[in-house]
Structure 1
């Protein structure tokens, strides 16, 4: 199964209300960068153990670790969770940037160092979320 098929399956497995919001979030993120690389992580580690929620990734960057190792990873992530959705902005150096730049304008969302969590699209200003994604999906590493 290719990445797009995995993404389609993941979205289709959501309950109807969450599925509609997730399809809209996926459509808007894709609109910001239609040719970006797509990722799908099923939430399992190399031993097959579930360690996180499945997530869809958009864009690409190389992450460098303290030990000198590097790996490719996505820039923006989207995941359904028990209470709603999480949108991840990876590779931020300043862990206050998201909350200071977007926090007051996003609406009813919890903003952490690299994550925006919300229940439904109706709770947030989707245009602000889309602008946040657009400004980071193609950012220089």
Structure 2
């Protein structure tokens, strides 16, 4: 099964509101990173045990670990969860930036070092979310 098919199946498996929100976000991120690599993580580890919610990933950057090893990973991630949707902005060096710059202006969302979590798109300002996503992509494109 192709990654595009996995993403479509994942989005289609959500309830009506989450499906509509994920489709809108999917289109938005594809506009921001039109040539970006697509990822789909099913949430299972190597042994098939569920360790996280499934994630759709966009773009690519290299994670550099302290031991000198590296790993390719996505820049932006989307995931449905029991309370709504999470947008992951990966690879930010400053773990306070998102909450300090977007936490008070985005609307009804929880903003952490790399995640913006909200119940529904109607609860947030989509232009502020887009600004946060663009900031994250810009930061990891420099690495």
- The two structures have a TM-score, normalised by structure 2, of 0.95
Deviation of 1:137 after TM superposition, in Å, equals 2.1
Alpha-carbon distance in 2 for matches of 1:67, 1:47: 25
> What is the aligned partner in structure 1 of residue 46 from structure 2?
46
Alpha-carbon distance in 1 for matches of 2:83, 2:124: 14
Contact 1:44 1:51 in 2 (8 A): yes
Give matches, 1:105-116, under 5 Å.
Answer: 105-116=105-116
Structure 1: which 5+ residue stretches go unaligned?
A: none
CA RMSD of aligned residues (A): 0.9
Alpha-carbon distance in 2 for matches of 1:105, 1:21: 20
> What is the aligned partner in structure 2 of residue 120 from structure 1?
120
Deviation of 1:44 after TM superposition, in Å, equals 0.5
Tell whether 2:53 aligns with 1:35.
no
Structure 2: which 5+ residue stretches go unaligned?
A: none
> What is the aligned partner in structure 1 of residue 86 from structure 2?
86
Deviation of 1:34 after TM superposition, in Å, equals 1.1
Alpha-carbon distance in 2 for matches of 1:61, 1:93: 13
What is the aligned length? 141
> What is the aligned partner in structure 1 of residue 22 from structure 2?
22
Deviating beyond 4 angstroms after TM superposition, the runs of 4 or more aligned structure 1 residues are none
Deviation of 1:130 after TM superposition, in Å, equals 1.1
Contact 2:92 2:136 in 1 (8 A): no
